[in-house]
């Protein structure tokens, strides 16, 4: 995984750059990149960067959601303690 045939083209719609990375279609689709109908997702340097940016943003969102949730539940707990 990760290695690609020489001369493989980027699988992103409208992109004709040479691919540098091969990833599973699902992984790339989750990052919001539109792919041509291929079995595997090949990404050029540019789109791989874009892909990494998107997945990083996702992770940040995920941790933000968690800290918000944690903050909410802890304030709820402290409020509850105040009523007692």
- The torsion angles phi and psi of 3, rounded to 5 degrees, stand at -85, 150
HSE, CB side, 13 Å, CA atoms: give it for residue 61. 7
Q: Rounded distance, CA 45 to CA 50, Å?
A: 9
| 12 binds Zn ion, rule: CB under 5 A | yes
| 17 binds Zn ion, rule: CB under 5 A | yes
Sign of the Cα torsion 3, 31, 37, 45 reads negative
x/- track of binding to Zn ion for residues 31-50 (CB under 5 A): -------------x--x---
Nearer CB in complex with Zn ion: 36/56: 36
| 21 binds Zn ion, rule: CB under 5 A | no
Nearer CB in complex with Zn ion: 3/48: 48
Nearer CB in complex with Zn ion: 16/75: 16
Q: Tell me which residues touch Zn ion (CB under 5 A).
A: 10, 12, 15, 17, 44, 47
């Amino acid at each position: 995984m990760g290695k690609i045939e020489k001369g493989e083209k980027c699988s992103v719609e409208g992109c004709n750059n040479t691919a540098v990375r091969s990833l599973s279609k699902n992984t790339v689709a989750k990052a919001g990149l539109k792919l041509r109908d291929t079995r595997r997702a090949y990404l050029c340097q540019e789109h791989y960067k874009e892909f990494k940016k998107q997945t990083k943003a996702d992770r940040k969102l995920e941790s933000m959601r968690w800290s918000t949730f944690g903050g909410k539940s802890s304030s709820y707990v402290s409020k509850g303690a105040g009523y007692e």
